[in-house]
Amino acid sequence: MSVHSRPVPRPTASRAVLRRGLRVIGSGIRAEPRPFAVAVLGSVLWAAATVGTAGAIGWVTDHVIQPAVQERHVTAAGLWTIFGVLVAVLLVNVLGVILRRVFATVAGFNLQARYRRRVTRQYLRLPLSWHHAHPSGQLLSNAHADIEATWQVFNPLPMAIGVLFMLVIAGVMMVVVDPFLAFVGLLVFPGLFLANLVFQQFMAPRITRAQQLRAEVAEVAHESFEAGLLVKAMGREEEETERFARSTYALRDSLIEVGRTRGIFEPVIEAIPTLGTLALLGVGTVQVARGDLDAAQVVQMAYLFSLLAFPVRSLGWVLAEIPRSVVGHDRVRHVLESEGAMDYGPDELPPASGPARSALSGVTYRHHDDEDPTLHDVDLVVEAGTTTALVGPTGSGKSTLVNLSLRLVDPQGGLVELDDVDVRELAQGVIPGAATLVAQQTFMFDDTVRGNVTLGEEATDASVWEALRIAQAEGFVRAMPEGLDTVIGERGGNLSGGQRQRIALARAIWRRPRLLVLDDATSAVDPSVEQAILAGLREARKGTTVLVVAYRMATILLADEIVYVEQGRVVDQGTHAELVGRCSGYADLVQAYAREAAERAAVEKSEEPA
């Protein structure tokens, strides 16, 4: 069960990383301009206060403390001045930090939530074939880890902008003091830029791989937990753990690689401003020795620079986040830009309350373009008010036919109609409003019995109970501790397969569809219960057209018309009596048990005398 790495992210061209990262950031700012602006405002306040603190201490030292110490006398007013000035700067600082951090968080999480909504909308919009091609765990990772990776950069971003602001102030002050010295000091920036370019080049492919492996870990976990019962039944816990270990260790190794790269980058980014300070001191001293510059000016410049040493690291944090952001964004974009979502037409069905008519003509369907068709040129008409049984060997294409008739998938060729309207012309929601499917495999929502029947629509208890009664589910639901309000849970809790099937049936019956499609929907229900369900349906389905995939005689015999399908083709259709007489495939299929019983009886008889 190898994990397939699917071609999700385009390989990230490393040189473009910074540019593309800035573009991602730009789109984030455009999406959340207000919180971002407040955060930047806070950051500017903080930056001003940080520079201001040193100034304030210098000012009170010069104007209050030094005179007081010299005079050996200090007034209360003097002390209050010291306190007041410092606290004023502090308040600005604290206010700045609160605004900066809180609103950076708000912007970041708003963006995450916005993208999660977009991505999950896309999951709901994309066709089933797309879902089949994408592991659930990967989609989980796209919706969570990748979106998180994309917008994490908004945490350090406002601070970095504040730092840039500080740098501009410091740069202007330095240029004012001495342009040449400023030039030496500001050489730091090309240095930072260069270091960053090299870093991005190494980082981008590593991060790409790490995010991919993160998704893979989620994939294996999701699939393996879904297979929990099987893993247990086959005693494959060890093998599954090994499979998970392969992905986990690959992720570990790739994260360590990321760590090595970051591990180099961060000290370098930190060292560059310090080296800048030292260069400035060296050049400054030479200039002072030459008499070009005042020593105090050099000291002031050095002080300005050292003040920046710590905050400049936040620039490093932003730069370090950028590859992750770009890679996350690429992976998310892959989902957002996936195409193939069904297009819906504008039409409604002609107003009618009676049973619906379903018709397929000349339909051809392939799962993949390179494969032989699953269905060849199929014609199937289910007249309004009739019951049609679809019979055929396992894998003959019955489920595909059923899915086509409800437009869960579109055929490559041919026409599918509901009430004589091309289903592609119908508006979204029109088909589910008229036609309902009970699939082979039941799916339960993490919800109550009521929620699973009504799927959130307004309903009276009586109507829900009635649907449950027809589906022969009333008895066991009544026995549940909280009746209709019992939470079933995603995996159907303690319900047996047959009980879940009956709730799924009730879900369909409650909606009183004009076309009811049962895809072998009673396979887990025993025959007597099935009989009761079918009898109930016969009562309730007046006004309903039924298309049923079935193997059991009781079900087949309910049908007005039987369509026999084999290898993607309609081989014959008619009544049971007609088909048994002329269609050998059909006869073989439905008489298999009887033949089997007869043969066994014959064998037993021949053994008896002995």
Partner 1 sequence: MSARDRSRPDQEGAAEEHGRTVSSRIEAQSGLSTLGTLRRGLELSPELRRGIALTVVLAVVATVGRVIIPFVVQQTTDHGILAEGGPDTGFVLRAIVLAAAVVAVTSLAQYLVNVRLFISAESGLATLRLRAFRHIHDLSVLTQSTERRGALVSRVTSDVDTISMFVQFGGLMLLISSAQIMLATVLMLVYSPVLALVVYLCFVPLAFLVRWFQPQLGEAYGLVRARVGDVLGAVSESIVGAVTIRAYGVEDRTAERLDTAIENHRRSAIRAQVRSVMAFVSGQAFAGLTTAVVLVIGTWLAVQGHVTLGQLLAFLFLVNLFTQPVLMATEILNELQNAVAGWRRVIGVIDTPADVADPGAGGVHQERGPIAVRFEDVSYAYPGGEPVLRDVDLRIAPHTRVAVVGETGSGKTTMARLLTRLMDPTHGRVLLDGVDLRRIAFDSLRRRVVLVPQEGFLFDDDIMANIRFGRPEASDDDVALAVTELGLDSWVDGLPHGLRTQVGQRGESLSAGERQLVAIARAYLADPDLLVLDEATSAVDPATEVRVQRALEGLTRGRTSVAIAHRLSTAEAADLVVVVDRGRVVELGHHRELVGLGGVYSRMHDSWSAQQRTSTTLP
Nearer to partner 1, 20 or 325 (CB): 325
Please name the amino acid found at residue 162. Answer: G
Residue (of 136, 40, 145) closest to 96 by Cα position:
40
The verdict on 487 binding partner 1 (CB under 8 A) reads no
The verdict on 496 binding partner 1 (CB under 8 A) reads yes
Stretch that binds partner 1, among 22-30, 170-178, 216-224, 343-351 (CB under 8 A): 216-224
The verdict on 140 binding partner 1 (CB under 8 A) reads yes
The three-state secondary structure class of 397 is: coil
Nearer to partner 1, 20 or 579 (CB): 579
Count of other CB atoms within 10 angstroms of residue 252: 14
Angle between helix axes 295-336 and 157-177 (nearest 10 degrees) is 150
The verdict on 345 binding partner 1 (CB under 8 A) reads no
Nearer to partner 1, 141 or 212 (CB): 141
Contact 9, 141 (CB under 8 A): no
Which residue in the set 5, 412, 441, 584 belongs to the binding site for partner 1 (CB under 8 A)? 441
The verdict on 110 binding partner 1 (CB under 8 A) reads yes
Nearer to partner 1, 165 or 244 (CB): 244
The verdict on 218 binding partner 1 (CB under 8 A) reads yes
Using CB under 8 A as the binding rule, the residues of this chain from 528 to 567 that contact partner 1 are 528-529, 531, 551-554, 557, 567
The verdict on 5 binding partner 1 (CB under 8 A) reads no
Q: How far is the CB of 443 from partner 1 (least distance, A)?
A: 4
The verdict on 30 binding partner 1 (CB under 8 A) reads no
Region at 574 (left for phi over 0; alpha for psi -120 to 50; beta for the rest): left
Q: What is the DSSP-derived secondary structure letter of residue 294? A: -
Which residue in the set 421, 455, 459, 535 belongs to the binding site for partner 1 (CB under 8 A)? 455
Contact 494, 434 (CB under 8 A): no
The verdict on 527 binding partner 1 (CB under 8 A) reads yes
Residue (of 110, 107, 150, 131) closest to 331 by Cα position:
150
Tracing tokens 């950028």 back to the chain, one arrives at: 322
Which residue in the set 30, 337, 353, 394 belongs to the binding site for partner 1 (CB under 8 A)? 394
Which residue in the set 240, 417, 419, 561 belongs to the binding site for partner 1 (CB under 8 A)? 240
Contact 609, 418 (CB under 8 A): no
- Give 346-388 as a 3 state SS string: CECCCCCCCCCCEEEEEEEECCCCCCCCCEEEEEEEECCCCEE
Stretch that binds partner 1, among 15-23, 113-121, 181-189, 329-337 (CB under 8 A): 113-121
- Which backbone phi and psi does 421 adopt, to 5 degrees? -110, 135
- Which backbone phi and psi does 358 adopt, to 5 degrees? -120, 135
- Gap between the Cα atoms of 375 and 397, Å rounded: 6
Which residue in the set 29, 59, 123, 459 belongs to the binding site for partner 1 (CB under 8 A)? 123
Stretch that binds partner 1, among 190-198, 378-386, 393-401, 458-466 (CB under 8 A): 393-401
The verdict on 94 binding partner 1 (CB under 8 A) reads yes
Number of chain positions touching partner 1 (CB under 8 A): 191
Q: CA separation (Å) from 106 to 42, 103, 332?
A: 13, 5, 20
Which residue in the set 316, 392, 411, 536 belongs to the binding site for partner 1 (CB under 8 A)? 392
- Gap between the Cα atoms of 515 and 355, Å rounded: 6
The verdict on 481 binding partner 1 (CB under 8 A) reads yes
- Gap between the Cα atoms of 416 and 439, Å rounded: 19
Q: How far is the CB of 537 from partner 1 (least distance, A)?
A: 17
Which residue in the set 38, 153, 251, 506 belongs to the binding site for partner 1 (CB under 8 A)? 251
Residue (of 509, 511, 447, 455) closest to 482 by Cα position:
447
The verdict on 10 binding partner 1 (CB under 8 A) reads no
Using CB under 8 A as the binding rule, the residues of this chain from 297 to 336 that contact partner 1 are 298-299, 302, 306, 309
Residue 610 token pair: 């002995």
Nearer to partner 1, 114 or 201 (CB): 114
Q: How far is the CB of 289 from partner 1 (least distance, A)?
A: 5
Q: Which string of x and - marks every residue 259-298 that binds partner 1 (by CB under 8 A)?
A: xx-xxx-xxx-xx--xx-xx--xx-xxx-xx-----xx-x
Which element (helix H / strand E) includes 570? strand 569-574
